[in-house]
Structure 1
């Protein structure tokens, strides 16, 4: 039975069904503030109770040498790679697991995680087709040509959907390494039609392609102390868990293509024209973006379509992945950024087609620079030599390179929504360099550790970009609509990526909002920032788990935040604190104090009301001697009283007078005459405990504020009262005036006069059209109307 319990616990731990265990589920206290010790994994030599890596912490490493051939005419990629895998674990390994993410694009090789479907109100000609039973091969997915050892000898392998297992010819012992080779190819999907993160976009106006090569090569799965092999299937949602390593990658592409990728190009002098190389060197020392490949050069390349080929060579160190892009449509600009904390000189760069020129030339590279500088302040100094943003009508991140949207109208104008959306997505995707590319959490298991932490720092960075920036995720009030949903539509943040119903609010918004509430309302900025930087520093270039984050934030701040992690991350209760009643009382001074009288009877003997079995047996036991029998000097009045040997009338009443009060002095009366007591009764209607934030408004127009810590709920999680004393008349009380706590019902947050709305406005759903993300077609924007 014990073994079965352990197995069930391990199953729940591995697959993310975290239980919000309660200590006192039927009581009104002892639940919300119970420690997380019953939920978090036991600390060990790999991960400490403080949240830091342990003295025996280890992680695997994988180095890659990759050759790629991009066939634009056939829309095919052919590749070969040599992987050197280092087994730094204490375990011996008999097989290895690799990810084949392109198989998710296949109709027959994908993970087959289906979702329910219903009759659609409309469809498109591209998507409307008969159901194939059995499914027909759409020609997508990875074709493995061969797997060999370093000498060329074949190694057996087995493919299960999006995962490939390599059976090693001999056990890979602890502290040993192995080198093996893989050759593969696949047909590149049209990501504008099929979706997904990588593929091509075709521009019919000029007959060119823009390729985003992502998740494009067989990649090592993570083997870790907390999971073993992270070989959960790739379903298109939960992203990646990857090992760090060094990369050398060569890309053979059409000669007029411009290529950007993870890391630094090693042969610009061979692939760029002399003018472009000169402009690149100029950009290396410029504080403003300089066009390396100009708009005119990109327009000319669109028309030429060279039949020749060039090879670009890139190298990257200490990265967990490699992505690249290739197109003859690219304009390319860049500038140098110096990170103050470590003096690192970074090339901030952007690549974009002419369709995005009016926005990207103005904003993209500067947004890249702003992001790495701001994130460096809040986490760790940016360590890499490059940070790049590529306009590709989508949003996705990889080390040192990311893909974003942001195209103008044909006349070069753009809407405010497109501009802000573009800046926001650039900040978000560039920010992913920190979470999870450096602070390398397991996205396949816990999306919030990637998306949520990153969205939080994105919000801080947007705020630093423009004080009026319309951030949609981060402020407490923006999560209210999600938090008030029926509970059967919600799940805890601590839920596996594949099982989340409302993915955006759960994985992005709610964790980001929670951290912002911690920073602004619960901990304060300075303390929170110190703890958050400690987490980033501890786990940079390592694999943190949720417990490591929770424990570090507690450890580095001296704040016991388990109540917050329990409620916000493990629970689905919302915040709804109400002012139920306010009782007002005033002091009285005109009553002459009289001696106080108290009537009482004397106490009966202090003996047990029931002679229990232990007392009876002790008396019967001849070996036991009671001290008061041995030393009869200890038999005082009360010894005799307990045995009825002293006669006392316990019914007689006695009166005692106490004359220790006097009438207040005239000075005291004058000083205290205007004081009023206000007892405020609160109820926790939502279930999630939170600080009680109050704004008091007085009749003279002045205001006072108070913030009661959440711990006031620790002895009664449902109802509490707090009494205040003021020497001027209170006009009204406002609960959570700045909407800091994500309270889902503000109608019960006020006592006193309630002001009527001064105006009304209409609400409607805006219709958005256009295939590219961020586009707003069919409307006149302010730039066009000026």
Structure 2
């Protein structure tokens, strides 16, 4: 409904007054809490970590260097290793002992992870295999009941070979030092160990191929390695429960990997003896790949298939070197096809190897896309953070689904059907997981966050960068992360099933949506809606560069993003990272005002039209048939001045009063009077609780539209309900909140005014029907066409 503002001063003074927040009207009013600074929720700045979010003058990191000799026993699926570790104490503290991680102890029958995993035996019948594996449900690994799992420590000795006292507590081992290790000192010691390898469980293990009797090995968290000691936690020796990942420190590695002589080994670091472990032909192909801009096959599919059918005749040792990395992993198999290219990723003259290792079961997808996706990831991530500092990045095909990351090497899913065809989802999933896992080289392999405590600091940031890289790969890429609408179902779920993003990794409910999806969406909203791309990109790059090869905390990220952008984001961190409330803005009402021009020619015409409209009631319409039968109509003596008076006729007196009124106005007031603006008062409620910017689209009666944006601080005086006046020269016929799906509003039905008709939900008449295949490649291939899983599509083979 339109209303006329009859007193002009209401336009000048009233606009300001109406725009101000109204008095709190909800018992849930928390505006002051929401928009106050985080304050005591963040750690106090100090000389180790500053208030700006950067490392302080006393910041330190301890480090450990490793010299490892390891053998992969393919016949028994076993790792046998010996290592010499040199640990450097750069902290200001004297250390009486040091802690190492024994991650394979996750698979011990009585590990904390297994004993605390909830399980149930069904009354409808439970298999013996399930009963046996109840204690191994957390890991998801297939356990051979004839074997024992976990690290078996056979020796711990000092540099002189004398035994050191040690204590194993679950997945942690404490070594008591002969004398305290002072600041600036280092300590060298050795450990011998072995363990039985589990079937691949998403992080490490082997995949067995019964068709040819071979295994692909993906070996990670395989050696005893140092825990982190820092200014935040002291020793970070939280037990490994399977969900929270790893907290590690940097060091230099030299690793000699002995495997069957028909295996191909890919690893963290640079191989120092390719010429000795490759055939002359393979080495020649590697040389060719060093100058190629497209992947070159180092080991062809034909060679890998031949190796599948053969038997090893001995052993071979691959020697790798990796500097300034926080971890080390490798993959080994006789089934591996291997392609590679060494390219100038950033155009700075420094070439980086992009490589892929995969069995024939991965083709044709892997030979076409994997290595190119590796190179693209390095370029995309590097442009928004820092240039990739390592010499190589590797993608290995490990099973059908999932992925896992380690420095310079990742284990990735995405497998076509046995006939070589694949769905679009399989293709996108494979490319997406490669981008994600290779991208983890930046977060947390270089920006070295504490994964055991804060999953979102690597998974969330990485999922956001993955989303951006996928858009740069293909404009129409079906990304699984990043878009606000993708998080709505999670945000609107039962609060009892939600955890804040700022929840310790092992305690998170709904792990994927919490640690991957929601942080990625939050960062995208910051970039697109709250900060804008320029400010966000600068601040995000600053964070990455401040903390590369260092160990940041959440506070360091929060503070850097604000420090480098000049945007106060404490309200955002509170709502998105510390809370579980959703976004639900309700456009309750819109009132329409226009200025009373005081011009009798205009105002009396409008008044006449309004009066005539009001007179069109049903009673008036029906009474019109008998209007000539009224007393006044039949007896003229009953009429007087007012029966003949027309209040809407413009008189000379009206015109004189209008001219006198105009003479009193200033030039600015005359312009406003002649503007013919429409003034709309919008009333909005924050039903979800999480305050966010208000974005409203105005659709005008002439078919055009416009968008108004108001920062989240519009809720700072009242987070329950606000009012806002918007002036337009055109009449608005439709108002819509969040028209571009920017803020993850969980209820769009209350975003329109006037309310729009609800769209029907489609349903199927059939109670049950077979699902249509999602693999049109398979459906449309002629029956006479041979399977697509054939190597050699790469012309550089």
**TM category, shorter:** 0.7 to 0.9
SS of corresponding position for 1:32: helix
In 2: Cα distance, 1:147 partner to 1:425 partner: 39
- Check the 8 A contact 2:53/2:557 in 1, yes or no: yes
Q: 1:433 to 1:783 in 2, by over 3 A?
A: same
Query: How far apart are the structure 1 equivalents of 2:463 and 2:127?
Result: 33
More helix by share: 2
> Aligned-pair distance for 1:729?
1.3
Query: Secondary structure of 2:363's match?
Result: helix
Pick the aligned partner of 2:86 from 84, 87, 94. Answer: 84
Which residue pairs with 1:781 in the alignment?
A: 776
Displacement of 1:673 in angstroms is 6.3
Aligned to 1:572, the other structure's residue is in SS state coil
Match of 1:31 in 2: 33
Partner of 2:502: 494
Offset at 1:674?
3.2
Alpha-carbon separation, structure 2, partners of 1:767 and 1:69: 52
Are 1:523 and 2:531 matched, yes or no?
A: yes
Tell me how far apart the structure 2 counterparts of residues 663 and 229 of structure 1 sit (CA, whole Å).
78
Which residue does the alignment assign to 2:267? 261
Give the secondary structure class of the aligned counterpart of 1:30: helix
Pairwise CA distance, 1:409:
1.5
From the superposition, tell whether residues 50 and 478 of structure 1 become closer, same or farther in structure 2 (CA, over 3 Å).
same
Name the structure 1 match of 2:258: 252
Distance 1:766 1:556, change over 3 A: farther
State the distance in 1 between where 2:507 and 2:525 align. 26
- Partners of 1:687 and 1:238 in 2: how far apart? 30
Q: 2:363 aligns with which of 348, 354, 357?
A: 357
DSSP 3-state at the match of 2:591:
strand
Q: Aligned partners of 1:170 and 1:324: how far apart in 2?
A: 35
With structure 2 as the length reference, what TM-score do the two structures score?
A: 0.82
Which SS does the other structure have where 1:127 is aligned? Answer: helix
Shift of 1:116: 2.8
Shift of 1:781: 3.4
Give the drift of 1:727: 2.1
Distance 1:700 1:196, change over 3 A: closer
Partners in 1 of 2:38 and 2:160 — Cα distance? 52
- Aligned residue number for residue 751 of structure 1: 753
Q: Displacement, 1:70?
A: 1.0
Shift of 1:201: 1.0
Offset at 1:755?
5.3
Q: Which residue of 1 is the match for residue 613 of structure 2?
A: none
Cα contact 2:89–2:184 (8 A) shared by 1: yes
**1:706-785 equivalent positions in 2, closer than 5 A:** 706-752=708-754, 754=756, 757=759, 760=762, 780-785=775-780
1:392 aligned onto 2:387: no
For 2:487, which of 479, 490, 508 is the aligned residue? 479
- Indicate conservation of the 8 Å contact 2:440/2:462, yes or no: yes
- The secondary structure found in structure 2 opposite 1:67 is strand
List alignment gaps of at least 5 residues for structure 1. 1-23, 593-658, 769-775
- Considering Cα pairs closer than 8 Å and 6+ residues apart, tell me whether 1 or 2 has the greater RCO: 2
Partner of 1:222: 228
Retained in 1: the 8 A contact 2:597–2:673? no
Distance 2:222 2:593 in 1: 73
Match of 1:158 among 150, 154, 167: 167
Residue 578 in structure 1 maps to residue 586 in structure 2: yes
Query: 1:585 offset after TM fit, Å?
Result: 1.4
Superposition deviation, residue 350 in structure 1:
0.1
| Kept after mapping to 1: 8 A contact 2:734/2:752 | yes
- Following the alignment from structure 1 to structure 2, what is the Cα–Cα distance between the partners of residues 778 and 304? 38
* Structure 2 alignment gaps of length 5 or more: 1-25, 137-142, 601-659, 782-797
Partner residue in 1 for 2:194: 185
Q: Aligned residue for 1:148?
A: 157
1:33-52 alignment to 2 at 5 Å?
A: 33-52=35-54
Q: Which residue of 2 aligns with 1:461?
A: 469
The answer to whether the 8 A contact 1:221-1:229 is kept is yes
- Asked whether 1:380 is paired with 2:386, we answer yes
Aligned to 1:56, which of 44, 55, 58?
A: 58
Instruction: Work out the CA distance in 1 between the residues paired with 2:523 and 2:351.
Output: 30
Match of 1:682 in 2: 684
CA contact (8 A) 1:25 1:31 kept: no
Q: Deviations over 1:145-187 (max 9, x none)?
A: 0100011000010000110010111111111000000000011
C-alpha displacement of 1:251? 0.7
What are the Cα deviations for residues 234-284 of structure 1, in whole angstroms up to 9, with x where unaligned?
011100010100000001110000000000000000000000000011101
Structure 2: how far apart are the matches of 1:384 and 1:461? Answer: 19
Q: Compared with structure 1, are the counterparts of its residues 81 and 670 closer, same or farther at alpha carbon in structure 2 (3 Å cutoff)?
A: closer
Cα distance in 2 for residues equivalent to 1:739 and 1:312: 52
Asked if 1:103 is matched to 2:105, the reply is yes
Q: Note the alpha carbon deviations across 1:671-717, whole angstroms, 9 max, x for none.
A: 63632211000111111110000110001001011110011111111
Pair 1:556–1:341, CA change in 2 (3 A): farther
C-alpha distance in 2 between matches for 1:765 and 1:68: 58
| Equivalent residue, structure 1, for 2:701 | 699
Q: Which residue of 2 aligns with 1:344?
A: 350
Select the residue among 163, 172, 197 that pairs with 2:181.
172
Q: Whole-Å Cα distance in 1 between the matches of residues 48 and 330 of structure 2?
A: 35
Distance in 1, Cα, partners of 2:528 & 2:267: 38
Q: CA deviation at 1:117?
A: 2.7
Say if 1:371 and 1:673 are closer, same or farther in 2 by CA, change over 3 A: closer
Tell me if the contact between 1:110 and 1:235 (Cα under 8 Å) persists in the aligned partners. yes
Cα separation, 2, equivalents of 1:124 and 1:396: 30
Deviations 1:172-224 (A, max 9, x none): 11110000000000111122xxx352111110100101011100000100000
Cα distance in 2, alignment partners of residues 97 and 683 from structure 1: 53
Q: Give the conservation status (yes or no) of the 8 Å contact 2:115–2:135.
A: no
- Taking structure 1 as reference, are residues 175 and 739 closer, same or farther at Cα in structure 2, changes over 3 Å only? same
Choose which of 304, 309, 315 in structure 2 pairs with 1:309: 315
In structure 1, how many angstroms separate the alpha carbons of the residues matched to 2:368 and 2:244? 33
Q: Do 1:339 and 1:382's aligned partners in 2 also have CA atoms closer than 8 Å?
A: no
Whole-angstrom CA distance in 2 between matches of 1:364 and 1:465 = 13
Instruction: Name the residue aligned to 1:116.
Output: 118
Aligned counterparts of 2:299 and 2:125: Cα–Cα separation in 1: 43
Structure 2 CA distance for aligned equivalents of residues 540 and 92 of structure 1: 26
Query: Residues 183 and 468 (structure 1 numbering): CA distance in 2 closer, same or farther, change over 3 Å?
Result: same
For 2:304, what is the secondary structure of its paired residue?
helix
Distance in 2 between the 1:130 and 1:414 partners? 33
Question: How far apart are the structure 2 equivalents of 1:486 and 1:568?
Answer: 16
